[in-house]
């Protein structure tokens, strides 16, 4: 008998962006709870090293599928790989994502396309493709499967100079909370995870060493918070990781939008002395 309410033991979880940061940490916690894994990202060597490590520590079987999720037809390729290998997924962690920092007009147009494609389109397509089997699994074995979409505290207000990123995360939050309701009574846990600044490769990828990253949480802290919420009998539609982040997420709603944007914009302007 598991000591956890959320018990994915013996099921399979697909995690996108598993080659570093939060995705790799999700993989470790699911493996520790006895789940097998499908690990997706572009860096195959990282995924394979993680798969070996998890097999040694937890006896987990991992399937590595190296893929650029912004490539045309990538989600269809992924789903067909799963079908060919006879893998049925009980949990999906849509974690792959990145941000771009700077004046909107200075960010490469192709990079903008990739950001929206990865953070919004691939996440939505993959959720749609796997939704029937996630729901079917939840009905047959309640509280053993989950849909976890990684949003951000950037979802709660516009983020000047990361305007595309903030908008994509608002989408993820809204989309996931809608699905939380739609999944009710089907045994599938659905949650939008909203981390604040977290020590991963994110800020290097975003080319943003300047702002937002004072006092980050560790990836382990974020994943602990997530599984605590999954272990509650009534998992909420959103999880904000960290007390300070949870407070800020509520506080921004009380500030008039013009004032909020003025303060945020001043603090996020590239090159501003801090």
Ligand X SMILES: NC(=O)c1ccc[n+]([C@@H]2O[C@H](COP(=O)([O-])OP(=O)(O)OC[C@H]3O[C@@H](n4cnc5c(N)ncnc54)[C@H](OP(=O)(O)O)[C@@H]3O)[C@@H](O)[C@H]2O)c1
Residue 138 near ligand X by CB under 6 A: no
**Binds ligand X (CB under 6 A): choice among 95, 208, 225, 245:** 95
**Binds ligand X (CB under 6 A): choice among 20, 60, 62, 235:** 20
Distance between CA 116 and CA 122 in Å, rounded?
Answer: 9
**Binds ligand X (CB under 6 A): choice among 200, 208, 235, 268:** 200
SS3 37: strand
Residue 177 near ligand X by CB under 6 A: no
Residue 67 near residue 18, CB atoms below 8 Å: no
Q: In this complex, which beta carbon is closest to ligand X, that of residue 75 or of residue 90?
A: 75
**Binds ligand X (CB under 6 A): choice among 101, 161, 202, 227:** 202
Q: How many other CB atoms are there within 10 angstroms of residue 193's CB atom?
A: 26
What's the length of the chain? 274
Query: How many residues bind to ligand X according to rule CB under 6 A?
Result: 30
Cα 117 from chain centre: 14
Catalytic residue among 101, 165, 171, 181: 165
Crossing angle of helices 163-183 and 109-116, in 10° steps, is 10
Region from 6-14, 37-45, 55-63, 257-265 binding ligand X, contact rule CB under 6 A? 37-45
**Binds ligand X (CB under 6 A): choice among 8, 23, 166, 242:** 23
Q: Which contacts qualify for 197-206: CB closer than 8 Å, 24 or more apart?
A: 198/21, 198/22, 198/222, 198/241, 200/20, 200/21, 200/22, 201/20, 201/21, 202/21, 202/98, 202/99, 205/98, 205/99, 206/98, 206/99, 206/100, 206/101, 206/162, 206/165
**Binds ligand X (CB under 6 A): choice among 152, 170, 225, 226:** 152
**Contact track, ligand X, 56-75, x by CB under 6 A:** ------------xxx-----
Region from 4-12, 28-36, 195-203, 259-267 binding ligand X, contact rule CB under 6 A? 195-203
Residue 21 near ligand X by CB under 6 A: yes
165 is catalytic: yes
**229 to 258, contacts with ligand X by CB under 6 A?**
none
Residue 150 near ligand X by CB under 6 A: yes
Q: Which residues contact 240 (CB under 8 A, 6 or more apart)?
A: 153, 194, 196, 246, 249
Catalytic residues, by residue number, are: 165
């Amino acid at each position: 008998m598991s000591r956890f309410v959320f018990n994915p033991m013996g099921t399979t979880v697909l995690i996108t962006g598993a080659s570093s940061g939060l995705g790799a940490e999700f993989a470790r916690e699911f493996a520790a709870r006895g789940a097998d894994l499908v690990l997706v990202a572009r860096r195959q060597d990282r995924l394979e090293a993680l798969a070996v490590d998890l097999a040694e520590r937890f006896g987990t079987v991992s399937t590595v599928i190296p893929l650029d999720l912004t490539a045309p037809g990538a989600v269809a390729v992924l789903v067909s790989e799963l079908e060919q290998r006879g893998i049925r997924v009980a949990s999906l962690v849509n974690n792959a994502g990145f941000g771009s920092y700077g004046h909107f007009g200075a960010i490469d147009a192709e990079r903008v396309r990739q950001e929206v494609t990865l953070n919004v389109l691939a996440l939505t397509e993959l959720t749609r493709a796997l939704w029937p089997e996630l729901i079917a699994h939840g009905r047959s074995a309640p509280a053993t499967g989950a849909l976890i979409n990684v949003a951000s505290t950037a979802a709660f207000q516009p983020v000047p100079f990361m305007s595309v990123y903030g908008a994509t995360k608002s989408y993820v939050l809204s989309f996931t909370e809608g699905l939380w309701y739609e999944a009710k009574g089907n045994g599938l846990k659905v949650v939008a995870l909203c981390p604040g600044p977290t020590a991963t490769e994110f800020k290097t990828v975003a080319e943003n060493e300047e702002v937002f990253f004072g006092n980050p949480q560790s990836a382990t802290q974020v994943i602990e918070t997530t599984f605590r919420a999954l272990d509650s009998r009534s998992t909420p539609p959103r999880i904000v990781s960290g007390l300070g982040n949870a407070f800020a997420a509520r506080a921004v709603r009380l500030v008039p939008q013009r004032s909020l944007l003025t303060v945020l914009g001043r603090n996020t302007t590239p090159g501003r002395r801090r």
